[in-house]
Amino acid sequence: MYKGRMKLEKELVAASSVPLVLSILSEAENYGYAIIQRVRALSEGEIEWTDGMLYPVLHWLDDVGYVRSVWRKADTGRKRKYYSLNPEGRQALRQQKQQWAAVNHTLNQLWIPRYA
């Protein structure tokens, strides 16, 4: 799923895909291509998904009721599918934030430089 300067572990990319998508959708309604561009921009190119792999994640989130989707006419004149976060999705995002904060806090404790 990842191509770029630093090769992130496949499992790490897979694990971070849901919180990344939920976080981006918590800002505003969005669509697949724009979500990928946003991840690319925020990570300054460090995280690059194989674009098609986003869609299984989006469809799964739609399936479990965390996001809702609607087809709308884009400025290109073609139809485009937009996704937005449901209340259950906001709850799931809050849970994800707590879990990632716990992992981050633990790793930071271990990785703080020790001075002689």
Partner 1 sequence: MRNLEKEIADWRRSMATTSGCCQELLDELEEHLREEIAQLLRSGISDDDVWQMAVARLGAPADLRAEFEKLKASRRAWMPVKIARLLVAATGAMSLAAALLFGERSGILLAIHVFCVSLGYSMMFVMGGLSIVYICAHWLGEPALNRRSSFLRATFQFAGISAVLVAVGTILGMFWAKDHLGRYWAWDLKETGAFWILGCALLISVLRWIKPAQTFAMYIAIAGNMITAWGWFGANAPASWKLSNPFLVVFVASQLIFILGGAVKGVADMKGKQAER
Enumerate binding residues for partner 1 (CB under 8 A).
Answer: 18, 32-33, 50-53, 55-57, 59-60, 62-66, 68, 74, 76, 78-81, 86-88, 90-92, 94-95
- Considering the complex, state which of residue 8 and residue 53 has its C-beta at the smaller distance from partner 1: 53
Nearest-5° Cα angle at 36, 35 to 37 = 90
- Considering the complex, state which of residue 79 and residue 105 has its C-beta at the smaller distance from partner 1: 79
Residue 113: CB minimum distance to partner 1, A: 33
Buried b or exposed e, range 86-112, using 16+ CB within 10 angstroms:
beebeebbeebeeeeeeeeeeeeeeee
- Considering the complex, state which of residue 7 and residue 114 has its C-beta at the smaller distance from partner 1: 7
Residue 42: CB minimum distance to partner 1, A: 17
- Considering the complex, state which of residue 79 and residue 114 has its C-beta at the smaller distance from partner 1: 79
CA distances from 21 to 24, 59, 102 (A): 5, 12, 20
Residue 101: CB minimum distance to partner 1, A: 14
**C-alpha to C-alpha distance for 43 and 1, rounded to whole angstroms:** 15
